[in-house]
Structure 1
Amino acid sequence: MPQNEHLTTSRATVSGTATTALITGAARGIGLEVARQLALTGVRVLITARDSRQAAEAASPIEGVEPLPVDLDVTDPTAVEAAVEALIARAGRLDILINNAAASPDRTDTATGADLGAAADVLQVNLFGAWRMTQALLPLLRASDHPRIVNVGSGAGSHADERFGLSLMGGSAATHAVSKAALNAFTAVLAAELADTPVIVNVVCPGVTATAPGAEHLGARPVEASAPGVVWAATLPDDGPRGGFFRDFHPLCW
């Protein structure tokens, strides 16, 4: 099935007001492309970055995409609180939260050799950043008729990924893998807790994506090919899957 057939405009308006999404870490790369594609469905998209000026520059040429005017470091509770206040002031609602902010993986670290201070910093972004944003924004999401949470994960945090799974790669990129496995676990327990609510929670691996110059020559695909799976999870119908791990619309084991 063509990728664009998975996208939907059925929830582009809720009670006459534009459905609103917030994407963290979206001044470039996969986050920005998800914002662009999600806006094409009619969703009002607000993007954040640690530097709000970068978010503003990135959003400027894209119709339907706006910057949130705060410097959002998802590891900083004060910054998260400021982002919530700015979101309420600008949009007054939230229907979709996409936890995309992530630390760049160190491909060389291993479980035995990792700097645990640096590893803790990665977990603060990849796991606790998504956790913190979810806790802070859940009250707004609960007020939505069709709330969705999408955590952007990685096959590196699974046993099932045939290229980058936990038991592959000789144990390299250990911190990245552990943090993404933890994000899968967080998604599962959060979805279980919210099973009797309208809030649908899933984690999506966008695949190996060319977010840095030269990456495509190493087998990474362009962001345009990786974003639709995230957009799909953000626009699921009310009877859509919950607590799953997906890539390109298909479930993955983890």
Structure 2
Amino acid sequence: MTSTVLVTGGNRGIGREIVRGYAQQGLKVLLGCRNEDEGLEAKKDMVGGDVHVITLDLNNEQQLIESVTRAQAVYGDIDILINNAGFLTEHNWQSVTTEDMQHAMQVHVYGPLSLIQQVLPAMIENNYGRIVNVSSTYGAFDQEINGPIAYSISKAALNALTVNIAQDVDKTNVKINAMSPGWVHTRLGGKDASRTPQKGAETAIWLGLLDKDGPTGTFFKDKQILSW
């Protein structure tokens, strides 16, 4: 049976390469993005892949629920969830606004949690599922959480979410991990970043394809474990 993958923020950057990577391996991929036209444009790159665009707005929980419910009705259970969509503002503690903090938490924590709540019950019932939360070393206490404040704190919360839920389902064949793609040359990472989107996507793709003996509740970069 072909697995079905949902990738948020799948129309550009790292997400686009994650979609491409899974499609090349013959999986059915749901390319989630806010703007359907941008998703359809990105899909043109996936020649021969089983890719389907679905509209997902991480700022609108009801829309998320309705969109995923429709997708599950059409495409079946989602076996692999990649919470990739990201938001970055460069403010520090002196200039950050409550709105900045709320937006970062919505995109990096509340939206991913809502998606997990929708797909995880079927994963548990089927005794198979993989969830990958695309995080950052800026969200690691081991790295002193030293990035822009809204980004760092929300990624730290995403890391905590990963550990908490992984512990709750650790007796099942559901693996939930977080990963850092590194500093990637994307719209979010900027033109000076040293990594390609393809390189940034590699670990996310790998984690989504872990076998039943693979790790869970762990933080990775370049397929190597990092400290939280």
Give the TM interval when normalised to the shorter protein.
over 0.9
Please list every run of 5 or more consecutive structure 1 residues that lacks an aligned counterpart in the other structure: 1-16
CA drift of 1:201 comes to 0.2
Please list every run of 5 or more consecutive structure 2 residues that lacks an aligned counterpart in the other structure: none
Partner of 1:225: 199
CA distance in 2, matches of 1:119, 1:43: 35
CA distance in 1, matches of 2:188, 2:15: 16
Superposed, 1:52-71 pairs within 5 Å as 52-62=36-46, 63-69=48-54, 71=55
CA distance in 2, matches of 1:139, 1:119: 29
CA distance in 2, matches of 1:119, 1:28: 23
TM-score (norm 1): 0.84
Matched, 1:246 2:220: yes
Superposed, 1:173-188 pairs within 5 Å as 173-188=148-163
For residue 152 of structure 1, what is the amino acid of its counterpart?
A: V
| 1:85-125: CA deviation from partner (whole Å, max 9, x where unpaired) | 2212321121101111121x112x11243111221121111
CA RMSD across the alignment: 1.8
| Residue range with higher mean Cα deviation, 111-120 or 238-247 | 111-120
Matched, 1:151 2:133: yes
2:195 is paired with a residue whose SS is coil
CA distance in 2, matches of 1:89, 1:179: 31
Partner of 1:215: 190
- Structure 2 counterpart of 1:84, from 68, 92, 97: 68
For residue 81 of structure 2, what is the amino acid of its counterpart?
A: L
TM-score (norm 2): 0.93
Q: 1:177 to 1:223 in 2, by over 3 A?
A: same
CA drift of 1:183 comes to 0.4
Deviating above 4 A after TM superposition, structure 1's stretches of 4 or more consecutive aligned residues are none
CA distance in 2, matches of 1:238, 1:148: 10
Q: 1:214 to 1:150 in 2, by over 3 A?
A: closer
Q: Taking every aligned residue pair, what percent have the same amino acid on both sides?
A: 32
